[in-house]
Amino acid sequence: MSFAQTGQMDKMKTFIQNFTKNSASRVSSTTNLLQWIEGSFDVAAIPRGAIDELCDLAAVAEGKNQIAVCDLFRLLVLKDIQAEYILTQHWSLINNTIIGQLSAQNFSDSEAKVV
C-alpha cells in the first residue's frame, strides 16, 4: 500500500470511527465495529459482527457519512469472503441504501467526495 493510500485509509478510519461513536445511540450495537476500527482496520479481516453493525449504521447514515460508509463497503466487497457474506446476508441494504446512494452521487463534484 502506497503512502497516499495509507493516508486515505487513515482518513477513512477516523471518519468512520467518529461517525460510529456519534451514531451509537441510533443502532443496537457498535461494539464489534469499534473494536475492529480501533484494532487493525484491516478490510481483509473484518469480523462478521462488525459487518452487521456497519450495515445497521449504513441504514441511518446520511450525507457525507453515507458516502464514507459506501466507500468502506466498496473496499469490503473486493474480498471474496466479505463480499459473499454482505451480498447474501445484507442484500436489501446494498440494494436500497448503497446502490441508491451511488446512483445519486455526482462524482464530478469534489465537495461530495469524502474519501
Question: Are the C-beta atoms of 43 and 71 separated by less than 8 Å?
Answer: no
Cα Rg of the chain (Å, integer): 13
Domain residue limits, the chain: 3-112
Task: Pick the more confident residue, 27 or 67.
Answer: 27
What are the phi and psi torsion angles at 51 (to 5°)? -60, -45
Average pLDDT rounded to a whole number, residues 26-50: 96
Question: If you ran DSSP here, which 8-state letter would residue 98 be given?
Answer: I
- Amino acid 57: pLDDT: 95
Question: Mean per-residue pLDDT for 4-32?
Answer: 93
**With contact defined as beta carbons under 8 Å apart, do 11 and 115 qualify?**
yes
| Residue bearing the bigger pLDDT, 53 or 2 | 53
**Tell me, what's the pLDDT at 114?**
45
What is the distance between the alpha carbons of residues 97 and 99, in angstroms, rounded to a whole number?
6
At 47-105, the pLDDT tens digits run 999 999 999 999 899 888 988 998 898 899 898 999 999 989 988 887 776 666 667 66
Q: What is the pLDDT of residue 35?
A: 98
